[in-house]
Structure 1
Amino acid sequence: MASTAERPVRFLDVDGPLIPFGASYDSSTSVPSVAQRNPLLDRLDPGIGPRLLALGCRLVWATTWMEDANEAVAPRLGLPKLPVVEWPDTGADEGPRGLHWKTRPLVEWADGQPFIWVDDEISAMDRLWVAAQHPGASLLHRVDPAKGLVDADFSALAGWLAAEGAG
């Protein structure tokens, strides 16, 4: 496996990819402390954590959950504490129309290194902008927010990593 510095960054969003919006939810089975904080945490699949780690990427939170992802999400997935992308204040130059507000900060954070961004809000404009602005390899993979990360998504990620010589 490549060293930490050579492994692609894997930007993790929470809502949609890790907490699917379409998952069934039965509040009667919730642990009260979890339900009081955020009942959607019950939708996390603990089996996803080991699968994310097995990809061999440097995992980074890229979510509005910010540091809360380390406190509430990571332990339920068996993930260690991860770095967190700090989002700029609103009102910053957002770029061309249709560019997701996360796109520019993620490219800046990657700083030319290969990266994977999995989110449920990636658009064609994001792909075009990254291709023009990021000198390294990148994979912008849109996840169906009703399902979250599924086998096909993990296959696509592993295939890209293998093609890039990082998997």
Structure 2
Amino acid sequence: MIVSPPRPILFLDVDGPLIPFGATREQYPDGYPTYVPQEADANPLLARVDPALGSKLLALPCDLVWATTWESEANECLAPLLGLPQLPVVTWPEPSEEPDPSGLHWKTRTLLGWAAGRPFAWLDDEITNADRTWAEVHYPARTFLHRIDHRHGLTVADFGALETWLRGR
């Protein structure tokens, strides 16, 4: 019997990749595009979530996992806007008061542990070369740590880079 290798994991951050923020008036003179009207008590940033991203994410040959400080709120607030099913959620350890001496992002070690040897991609607006290098040295499977420009969120170019990595497995 032939056993297929497990599908890669795609770890998704929310703030930056799915909810763009921090652009200047020159970049968005009329403000950020809004896609869906929000209820009065909802987070106003949710209006920036492009619902079309959901079908693009679901079409990828990988398993989607929330890797965000939103934790389970991502399933409650974002999944319905994007047309996504309930996704697994990474639970973060208690934050440390001390910065990591290696310069790693505080999520890096947890994500590598959560992936448990499976190939994975991680989309986040705070990834650095220190995270990429550490993953290359300390992780046994293929990784794709891709920094998203928080001012624009996920773009066609980001999806292209991710799809190229996924096809290369």
Using structure 1 for the length normalisation, give the TM-score: 0.88
Residue 38 of structure 1 is matched in structure 2 by: 43
Matched residues in 1 for 2:168 and 2:101: separation?
30
Contact 1:4-1:58 at 8 Å conserved across structures: no
User: % of aligned pairs identical?
Assistant: 54
CA shift, 1:156, in A, is 0.3
Matched residues in 2 for 1:146 and 1:50: separation?
22
RMSD between aligned alpha carbons? 2.2
- Gaps (5+ residues) in structure 2? none
- The structure richer in helix per residue is 1
Query: Number of paired residues?
Result: 159
Residue 119 of structure 2 is matched in structure 1 by: 114
Residue 150 of structure 1 is matched in structure 2 by: 155
Matched residues in 2 for 1:71 and 1:159: separation?
31
Secondary structure in 1 matching 2:65: strand
Residue 74 of structure 2 is matched in structure 1 by: 69
CA shift, 1:102, in A, is 0.3
Residue 7 of structure 2 is matched in structure 1 by: 7
Aligned positions of 1:71-90 closer than 5 A: 71-90=76-95
Contact 1:20-1:145 at 8 Å conserved across structures: yes
CA shift, 1:4, in A, is 9.1
CA shift, 1:30, in A, is 3.7
Question: CA distance change for structure 1 residues 91 and 47 in 2, over 3 Å: closer, same or farther?
Answer: same
Residues 1:103 and 2:126 aligned together: no
Matched residues in 1 for 2:18 and 2:97: separation?
28
Q: For 1:94-123, what per-residue CA distance to the aligned partner results, in whole angstroms no more than 9, with x for missing partners? A: 643321000000000001110000000000
Secondary structure in 2 matching 1:60: strand
Contact 1:30-1:39 at 8 Å conserved across structures: no
Matched residues in 1 for 2:165 and 2:132: separation?
15
- Gaps (5+ residues) in structure 1? none
CA shift, 1:37, in A, is 2.2
Using structure 2 for the length normalisation, give the TM-score: 0.87
